[in-house]
Structure 1
Amino acid sequence: MSDVRGDTFPQLLAGLAATRGDDVAMQEKQYGIWQPLTWSEYERRVHDTAHGLAALGISRGEIIAVLGDNRPEWLIAELAAQSMGIAVVGIYPTSIGEELRHILTTSRARIVVAEDQEQVDKLLRLLEEETPNDAEPLRIERIVYYDPHGLEQYRDQVLMEFTELEELGRGRAAEHPGWFHEQITAGSADDIAVICTTSGTTSRPKLAELSHRNLLAMADHLTSIDPIDRKDRYVSFLPFAWIGEQMLAVACGLSRGLTISFPEDSSTQRSDMREIGPDVMFSPPRIWESMLSEVQVRIDEAGWLKRRVFGWGYSIGDTVAEMRVSGRKPGPLLSATHALADAVSTRPVRDQLGLTRIRRCYTGGAPMGPDVFRFFHAIGVNLKQIYGQTEICGIAVVHRDDDVPFNTVGTPIPGTDMRISDDGEVMLRSDSVFRGYHRQPEETAKIVDADGWLHTGDAGYLDDNDHLVIIDRAKDVLTASDGTRYSSAFIENKLKFSPYVEEAVVFPPEDSADGMTAMVIIDPATVGSWAENERLSYTTYTDLAGKPEVQELIAEEASRANEDLQEGIRVRRFVLLHKQLDPDDDEITRTRKVRRNVIADRYGDIIAALARADDRVDVRSRITYQDGSSTERVLELGIFDLTTYSVPEGRGRRPVWSGRR
């Protein structure tokens, strides 16, 4: 099929199969062994699957859904559907209940490709439930699963194994030679390639239609400043339902011929990354923050000599990184010292994280603290911030190499126009602006104007070097008593830089002179490690969060964060929540963004108690035991007043790379 154009993903695959058929396109680790799939084998399986989908009666213009973790079958199903002019809506594997129903009914998908027994059970349960009066009925006619483990005894007629679908396709292909080539050739750059869900922080997620043209324009513009080579390797472990993974693994992967590797399991992800040694990587801030937390825990558990050596190496790396991100070069002596420090100190840490071969990596989707950036640059990782939205294929602005101010998100990529409106809203325009929200033209008209400008809803400004600085969602930007504009997210990030804080939600005061209050969720791994070191016993997360010693620990971290904040926006009081925020409870999105309206409603009593400066607040919590029984408990949460607290005299600052003082 070397005669086809390269306007769509399937056309690019056809070209790669024709010119690099024996090269490895993707590989998956199974039972400890990497199983490769060449470009020609990839195309053959897409060919068979496309015929199989046609045999099931699905045709151009429809939508199929894919639900599950990253596996080769996800991409095979995606490319097979796209070969026929069928769009693919990805669903996060953690989605359940109403969220799952909403996506399936809105997309009107008749076929769902699901990973395993867990996902199949969720779908079968939905099909058995009565349709709510105000909801559309589900239209699912077939569930195709690609991991048969545990499904051997299922006899539901709606189920089909992925290998059975491929076999069905091979039979149809024998009767329709040339059909697959005709379908690919008929594909257009303006066909819908994927439908990605928006974050849904304030309402149900919307379904954003992204065309092949949108995604491939983004890939071309990004790689024009950050080239990706056909020999580069990429480890795919973030959900394909997320625009970030579609952006790099699929759009950049197919347009540049990347080899995609799939870890065997979430528990082996880090070791599998070390084996592959990816050249490029894109992850949201929570991944980088968890990496830093892991380093902090491991260094805190190390002996004094290792800690001292790492501290020396880190300080050298930090000095060199500070110079490089501002475009300066270290002198010969500093370069030589840095080479030694890297060999004995920071390179082993990169190796443990699987980042030894990384040339550049990105973070996006949410703001990340400058100190996290500083840490990774100090250990030799070229981490850069990107800014974008699902509606513009995930990226519009990015840092350039050797120009990475930690408090900005960079400058626009080629082909992207940007302007700041009179009221401070960031507006973007490029070939990557999406086609619109699926079946919601009125919502599309609200966000894309007649001139093609995407109204992001984010407030921002340009600094003296024309770098974009994002403040927060425009509706969430607040004004302090002295007139300073600020965002709750900025203060939350200051708190979250602490290795002991997993999440924080900050609430503005009713009286502008009263200061901020916060609900803090501790990190169970790092706080648990700290508690063990302090010989502090505990049983559950709730027990750990309720310890007075843990309150004192977080109080010191919050006080340190306050030092860099203006007086009017410092945190005055906080409470340690008795549980972690959970996407299944709608408290955070699947991409870990806080749903503030849910928090305000669910924890209204806590928020009110913080505002009143109470000493404590009672909350009701339902506990479910392993045998299925449950009981409701009343928990007393203490409120810590930081206005009367001071860091113990002589207590030194905690290094960036350590949880110890």
Structure 2
Amino acid sequence: MSIQGKITGWPVTDGGAPATLVAALAANAAQPGSRPGFRERDFGIWREWSWPQVLDEVLSIAAGLETLGLGPGRALTVVGDNRAAIYFTMLAANALRAFPSPVYPDVPVDEFKTFVRFGEPDIALAEDQEQVDKLLDLRGRIGRPSTIIYDDPRGLAGYVEPGLIALSEVADRGRARLAAEPGLAADLVARARPDDPAVLLYSSGTTGTPKGIPLLHSNIVGGIANAEAGGYFQRGETLFAYLPTAWVGDFVFTLGAGVLLQATINIPERAETALHDLREVAPTFYLAAPRAWDAMLTRIQVGMADSTPLKRRLYDWFIPRAIELERKRLKGYRPSAVERLREAVGSFVMYGPLKDYLGLSRAERAFTGGEAMGEDTFLFFRALGIKLKQFYGQTETCALSAAQVEGSVRIDTVGRAMPGVEVRIEDSGEILIRSASVFHGYADNPEATAEALTPDGFLRTGDAGHIQDSGDLVVLGRVSELVETAQGQRFIPTFIENRLKFSPYIRNVAILGAGLEELTAIVCIDYEAAGHWAEQRSISYSSYAELSQKPEMLELVAGEIARMNELQPDGLKIRRFVNLHKDFDADDGEITRTRKLRRKVIEQTYAALVAALYDGSDEVIFDAKITYEDGREGTLRRNLVIRRV
């Protein structure tokens, strides 16, 4: 059944544009053309849905979900990786004036109840058997969800638990309703209002229990309109849907922008095939966290080290010159004719093939955000011709507040406020934001809402910063993390940590020193980059823990810290450090799912290390708690070396 051309009357903005995601979907379906709306790779073959077909699927699922009891103001728990069916179901919830509440797929069941507190979610969508098992376990603990819908039926044929139903069956029920009830399709498209929640996301929970963050259709529509007006998005983009579905970046930058700007949303087959699939898609817009860009750079460096002598010589000749030229260009330098010729030759023999290898040959708009990016990484990708830029935003602003523009790109800023966005700096140094994309308050938490929003509608971001004379915004770190040493020198640990993580050999780091005589650090090496470095030097090791304590690795990290210390005032230099025997882990509660440090947990878990860093010890014996697969707990004794820088 096709409903193209049968639907009109959806809600619109004052400018006549669709005012909800469902309305935008219907508008896309009503326009003639063969450009696909969604593409998903399955068993190596790309399956495509035109916008009319997407609308058919969404409304069929919506009509089926309504028979299961999903209705206005109710949440639909969603857990799984990027799948077309998951995106369709999230839009279907919107059509019923309900809203999806996606949860990170790797959240253990012990933490899951934290993410089903709001919106009375009694219906859940699971991608596969693994997530169904998790939801059944959750039901046994808290009594819901009573209905569990699954997309992938593999392994579920023998399940007899009540309330299990295939998504395909839900859609079939809906199709039957649409065929039997004239006008139902138009009704479903028109139901959602701009002030309805489009999605319920959760804060990172770095300082406590994650807060529920409802984003309205009007927030997402307004934020995308601002970004489009600033040139950060264009209509008809080719997008790559690989970001975690529970992150604001996926819902807004992938699904929201994809539907509102009639893009093509490409979905990889699996996380394991994402790099291969990215190369086939070659998106025009690409967003990745700094760590992902660092991983790409490491992959190139490792690949070049293993390539032919000719390729290594070409790489070693062209890349340093391209990086130096980009460094000068960002300071206003205009390349000479000889430099432009060298750049053209380099693009043909080196930069172009590298961009194609990464899948970014068409990435006209490439962004990074969430934390500071290392200058070396930033310059490398811009030197290849990928116009990488930084953006700034929070979940509470749909992640759309400020971004860099070509011609005004600097490594130490996050760019200028987007059109339609107001930025104000309080006397305390806190950054305040006001725009259509700013949320209206936390779920069932009036106290937190009152703290976050000013009476005149500005969001207190919690970040410290300042605005340069050029209008560019500089973000220093969290206001709440502004601390002092015993000598009274003020510093923000995350600012120093981000500088240290510019090193490819340091994946995570926790800076200590609040109220103390000097700064110290707990360092987690980057196993892949550090391992490759060790292998090139014939340094043998059998595990992360062993590599971290190698004298050569300690010396390498000490050198990286020493280089960073050159940028710090004397009282804020790191004097001692310890390489941890493992990386910080979200499952251990040390970092959030978005890789932000939980400082209190780290300070409590590693209290013995912290004490040793300040009592003059050269080493510390640390008993690490471990949990086996069968639930038994034990300890593993580690001897960790403490080094002075």
Query: 1:626 offset after TM fit, Å?
Result: 6.9
Q: Distance in 2 between matches of 1:482 and 1:350?
A: 49
Letter in 2 for 1:526: A
Structure 2 CA distance for partners of 1:627 and 1:441, relative to 1, 3 Å: closer
Q: Secondary structure at the match of 2:456?
A: coil
Partner residue of 2:356?
351
* 1:109 pairs with one of 121, 135, 141: 121
Matched, 1:45 2:57: yes
Of 70, 83, 87 in structure 2, the residue corresponding to residue 71 of structure 1 is 83
Specify the SS of the correspondent of 1:112: strand
* C-alpha contact 2:138 2:144 (8 A) present in aligned 1: no
- 2-structure distance, mates of 1:303, 1:640: 38
Distance in 1 separating the partners of 2:157 and 2:606: 44
Q: 1:532 corresponds to which residue?
A: 535
Aligned residue for 2:182? 177
Superposition deviation, residue 518 in structure 1: 0.6
> Which residue does the alignment assign to 1:593?
596
8 A Cα contact 1:363 1:385, kept in partner: yes
Aligned 1:481-630 pairs, distance under 5 A: 485-508=490-513, 510-512=515-517, 514=518, 516-623=519-626
Which deviates the most, 549-558 or 65-74?
Answer: 549-558
Higher mean C-alpha deviation, range 9-18 or range 622-631? 622-631
Match of 1:57 in 2: 69
Alpha-carbon deviations, 1:234-282, whole Å to 9, x = none? 1110112111112211221111101000111112111111111010011
Can you give the 5+ residue segments of structure 1 that lack an aligned partner in the other structure? 130-136, 643-661
* Aligned: 1:408 with 2:421: no
| Match in the other structure for 1:338 | 343
Matched, 1:375 2:380: yes
The corresponding residue for 1:88 is 100
Q: Which residue of 2 aligns with 1:4?
A: 10
User: What is residue 4 of structure 2 aligned with on the other side?
Assistant: none
The answer to whether the 8 Å contact 1:623/1:632 transfers is yes
Do structure 1's residue 461 and structure 2's residue 466 form an aligned pair?
Answer: yes
- The answer to whether the Cα contact below 8 Å between 1:320 and 1:338 also exists between their aligned partners in 2 is no
1:257 matches 2:262:
yes
Q: Is the 8 A contact 1:55 1:172 kept in 2?
A: no
Cα displacement (A) at 1:469 = 0.8
Match of 1:36 in 2: 48
The structural deviation recorded for 1:309 is 1.8
Structure 1 Cα separation of the partners of residues 50 and 560 of structure 2: 51
Identity among equivalent positions (%) equals: 37
Separation in 1, partners of 2:589, 2:316? 41
Question: Does the aligned pair in 2 maintain the 1:366–1:593 contact within 8 Å?
Answer: no
**Residue identity opposite 1:477 in structure 2:** L
How does 1:619-658 map onto structure 2 within 5 Å?
619-623=622-626, 631-642=634-645
Once the two structures are TM-superposed, the CA of residue 443 in structure 1 deviates from its matched residue by: 1.0
Q: For each residue in 1:472-525, what CA deviation from the matched residue of structure 2 results, as whole angstroms up to 9, or x when unmatched?
A: 10011235688765321222122212221111111126444x3x1111111111
SS in 2 for 1:271: helix
- Residue aligned with 1:402, SS: coil
Q: In the alignment, residue 100 of structure 1 is paired with which amino acid?
A: F
- Secondary structure of 1:432's counterpart equals coil
Q: Distance in 2 between matches of 1:237 and 1:262?
A: 7
Task: Give the structure 2 partner of residue 390 of structure 1.
Answer: 395
- Kindly report the root-mean-square deviation, in angstroms, between the aligned alpha carbons of the 2 structures: 2.0
Q: Give the C-alpha shift of residue 296 in structure 1.
A: 2.6
Distance 1:624 1:99, change over 3 A: closer
Call closer, same or farther: CA 1:327–1:360 in 2, change over 3 Å. Answer: farther
Q: Equivalent residue for 2:37?
A: 25
Counterparts of residues 475-486 of structure 1 (less than 5 Å): 475-479=480-484, 485-486=490-491
Contact 1:518–1:571 at 8 Å: present in 2 too?
yes
Q: Counterpart in 1 of 2:441?
A: 436
Is the aligned partner of 1:232 residue 2:237?
yes
**Shift in Å, 1:9:** 0.5
Q: TM-score if structure 1 supplies the norm length?
A: 0.92
**Match 1:159 to one of 142, 157, 164:** 164
Which residue type is aligned with residue 113 of structure 1?
L
User: What is the letter of the counterpart of residue 615 of structure 2?
Assistant: R
How far apart in 2 are the matches of 1:519 and 1:218? Answer: 38
C-alpha separation between the residues in 2 aligned to 1:185 and 1:631? 57
Offset from partner CA, 1:131-163 (integer Å, 9 cap, x none)? xxxxxx444121111111222221211211111
CA distance in 2, matches of 1:326, 1:534: 37
Distance 2:485 2:304 in 1: 39
| CA-to-aligned-CA distance 1:53-91 (integer Å, 9 cap, x gap) | 111122122111111101001111111110111111111
Give the whole-Å Cα distance in 2 for the aligned partners of 1:206 and 1:511.
32
CA distance in 1, matches of 2:375, 2:494: 13
Cα displacement (A) at 1:213: 0.7
Which whole-Å CA distance do the structure 1 matches of 2:262 and 2:490 have between them? 45
Q: Deviations over 1:191-210 (max 9, x none)?
A: 11111111111111111111
- 2:246 paired residue among 241, 248, 258: 241
Matched, 1:417 2:429: no
Q: Distance in 2 between matches of 1:509 and 1:419?
A: 28
Which of 124, 127, 133 lines up with 2:136 in the alignment?
124
Query: Which amino acid is 2:69 matched to?
Result: G
The answer to whether the 8 Å contact 2:391/2:404 transfers is yes
Q: Distance in 1 between matches of 2:194 and 2:243?
A: 26
Q: Distance in 2 between matches of 1:509 and 1:12?
A: 50
Do the aligned partners of 2:289 and 2:368 also contact (CA within 8 Å) in 1?
Answer: yes
1:180-239 CA distances to partner (integer Å, 9 max, x unpaired)? 311321321111111111111111111111111101111011111225444421111011
Please identify, of 102-111 and 266-275, the stretch whose mean Cα deviation from structure 2 is larger: 102-111
Normalising by structure 2, we get a TM-score of: 0.94
Amino acid at match of 1:196: L
Does the Cα contact within 8 Å between 1:573 and 1:613 map onto a contact in 2?
no
Deviation at 1:539, TM superposition (A): 1.8
SS in 2 for 1:338: helix
User: Partner of 1:90: helix, strand, or coil?
Assistant: strand
Structure 1 range deviating more: 46-55 or 184-193: 184-193
Contact 1:509 1:611 in 2 (8 A): no
Residue 106 of structure 1 aligns to a residue in which SS? coil
Q: 1:105 to 1:509 in 2, by over 3 A?
A: closer
Amino acid at match of 1:16: N
Q: Is the deviation greater in 98-107 or in 272-281?
A: 98-107
Given the superposition, is the C-alpha separation of residues 441 and 158 from structure 1 closer, same or farther in structure 2, using an over 3 Å criterion? same
Contact 1:101 1:138 in 2 (8 A): no
User: C-alpha displacement at 1:444, in angstroms?
Assistant: 0.7
Distance 1:443 1:138, change over 3 A: farther
Task: In structure 1, give the amino acid aligned to 2:243.
Answer: L
Letter in 1 for 2:459: L
3-state SS in 2 of match to 1:348: helix
Within 2, Cα distance between the matches of 1:150 and 1:309?
51
SS at match of 1:437: coil
Structure 1 residues 537 and 320: CA distance shift in structure 2, 3 A: closer
Number of aligned residues: 633
Q: Distance in 2 between matches of 1:205 and 1:624?
A: 25
SS at match of 2:118: helix
Aligned twin of 2:476: 471
User: Aligned partners of 1:627 and 1:86: how far apart in 2?
Assistant: 39
Superposition map of 1:211-222 within 5 A: 211-222=216-227
Q: Is the 8 A contact 2:485 2:516 kept in 1?
A: no
Q: Tell me the CA shift for residue 386 of structure 1.
A: 0.8
Unaligned runs of 5+ residues in structure 2 are: 1-6, 12-17
**Partner amino acid, structure 1, of 2:491:** Y
